[in-house]
């Protein structure tokens, strides 16, 4: 092991300490190791990526060790600056801490409105090489997938799905407006970590959060033209077609057509990111995803009928899939699937003082 001494802002260090106290991580060192693994995956775009496996060579769920190798999920959503500049929508762009107006929020919500599904282009098939493996851990929520399928359904032209550049540009700023509006409502309502509606969403005035959101949940296209999928592809909701177009699968269309409490109701009144109908639909849909269904089964088997500490939970899951529970890559993957299952109401996290415990949801 290599020891490194570095400086951290006091606020960042305190947040890390709080996470360790809640037993989400065993130590500050484990958190830093996970953060380094994650950042290396995000920034390794200069390396030659691993070739994607052919569908017939993809391991089955029982053999799945995790997501596509890290070098296949590089660089979160970083649209080239020249492309962003050329395609920027001035009416949606906000600078710094400029206050959100009701008009801006309403305009953003229109991008993600309930779509008319009749007359959309033909749906492509899911990409088997991605639905066969555990989704990347950075795709740690499912509400962002809802935002993406809505945007894609509403941006499709007559007989034509949008290009990657078009959808990246379409989503970036409206999603940040929604994220910032929900963050303000989270603060006003006094919601705490684990309860925040704005978790995983980008923020206005934070290009890094927008890049991270797009890369984690939609896709990345490097300046050299390499394509790397986000969570929506691992969930079989989107598929890349010939050229640079992205289309909604039949599952993506079905998910887009279900009403959502935030996008179709009232932001102020919403108290959850997904409706009961959406959660029910997703739980059934996961059964068609070899990778995610294997991940869910593994975690539920590890829990059994007990309530366990985060450390014991992680150790049991790691043992089942033959990975090191102390490794950063496992930590990212484990927390990602745990968070998705909590959002679906399949796993619960309870607190005993500052200590968390995990169990099956009733």
Q: DSSP readout, 148-188?
A: HHHHHHHH-BTTBPPBHHHHHHHHHHHHHHHHHHHHHHHHH
Judged on CB neighbours under 10 Å (0-12, 13-18, 19+), 285 is: middle
pLDDT at 1: 62
pLDDT in tens, the chain (362 residues): 666 777 676 766 766 766 565 545 556 765 676 555 454 444 433 222 222 223 333 333 333 333 333 222 333 333 444 344 434 343 444 443 345 788 999 999 999 999 999 889 999 999 999 999 999 899 999 999 999 999 999 999 888 999 999 999 999 999 999 999 999 999 999 998 889 999 999 999 999 999 999 999 999 888 888 889 999 999 999 999 988 999 999 999 999 999 999 999 999 999 999 999 999 999 999 999 999 999 999 999 999 999 999 999 999 999 999 999 999 889 999 999 999 999 999 999 998 887 889 999 97
CA distance 124 to 240: 8
Among 223, 177, 230, 227, which Cα is nearest to 82's?
223
CB 132 within 8 A of CB 291: yes
As a dihedral over the C-alpha atoms of residue 115, residue 227, residue 321, residue 305, rounded to 10 degrees, the angle is -20
Domain extents in the chain: 10-360
pLDDT at 18: 65
Among 315, 255, 211, which Cα is nearest to 115's?
255
pLDDT at 65: 34
Among 115, 113, 110, which Cα is nearest to 91's?
110
Cβ-based neighbours of 266, under 8 Å, separated by 6 or more: none
Structure tokens at 24: 């989400």
* 3-state helix/strand/coil string of 277-290: HHHHHHHHHHCCCH
- Phi (first) and psi of residue 157, to 5 degrees: -95, 180
pLDDT at 59: 34
- Planar angle of CA 191, 184, 361, nearest 5 degrees: 30
CA distance 166 to 184: 28
- Cβ neighbours of 271 (radius 10 Å): 10
Structure tokens at 136: 């990347």
CA distance 182 to 55: 39
Cβ-based neighbours of 205, under 8 Å, separated by 6 or more: 94, 95, 96, 97, 98
pLDDT at 51: 27
pTM of structure: 0.77
Structure tokens at 29: 């060192």
């Amino acid at each position: 092991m290599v020891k490194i001494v570095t400086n951290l802002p006091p606020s960042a260090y305190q947040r890390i300490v709080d996470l360790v106290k809640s037993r989400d991580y065993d130590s500050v060192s484990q958190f830093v190791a996970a953060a380094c693994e994650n950042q290396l995956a995000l920034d390794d775009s200069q390396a030659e990526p691993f070739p994607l496996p052919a569908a017939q060579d993809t391991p089955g769920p029982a053999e799945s060790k995790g997501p596509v190798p890290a070098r296949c999920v590089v660089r979160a959503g970083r649209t080239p600056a020249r492309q962003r500049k050329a395609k920027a929508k001035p009416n949606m762009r906000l600078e710094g801490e400029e206050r959100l107006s009701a008009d801006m929020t309403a305009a953003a919500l229109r991008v993600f409105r309930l779509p008319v599904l009749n007359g959309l282009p033909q749906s492509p098939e899911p990409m088997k090489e991605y639905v066969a493996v555990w989704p990347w851990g950075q795709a740690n929520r499912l509400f962002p997938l809802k935002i993406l399928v809505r945007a894609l359904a509403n941006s499709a032209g007559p007989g034509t799905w949008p290009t990657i550049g078009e959808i990246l540009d379409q989503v970036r700023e409206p999603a940040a407006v929604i994220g910032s509006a929900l963050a303000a409502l989270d603060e006003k309502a006094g919601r705490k970590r684990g309860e925040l509606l704005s978790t995983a969403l980008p923020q206005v005035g934070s290009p890094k959060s927008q890049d991270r959101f797009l890369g984690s949940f939609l896709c990345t296209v490097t300046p050299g033209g390499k394509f790397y999928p986000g969570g929506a592809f691992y969930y079989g909701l989107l598929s890349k077609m010939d050229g640079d177009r992205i289309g909604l699968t039949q599952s993506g269309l079905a998910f887009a057509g279900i009403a959502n409490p935030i996008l179709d109701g009232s932001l102020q009144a919403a108290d959850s990111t997904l409706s009961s109908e959406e959660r029910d639909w997703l739980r059934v849909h996961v059964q068609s995803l070899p990778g995610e269904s294997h991940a869910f089964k593994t975690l539920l088997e590890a829990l059994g009928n007990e309530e366990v500490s985060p450390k014991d939970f992680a150790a049991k899951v790691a043992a089942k899939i033959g990975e090191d529970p102390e490794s950063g890559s496992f930590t990212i993957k484990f927390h990602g699937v745990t968070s998705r299952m909590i959002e679906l109401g399949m796993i619960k996290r309870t607190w005993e003082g500052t200590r968390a415990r995990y169990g099956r949801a009733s």
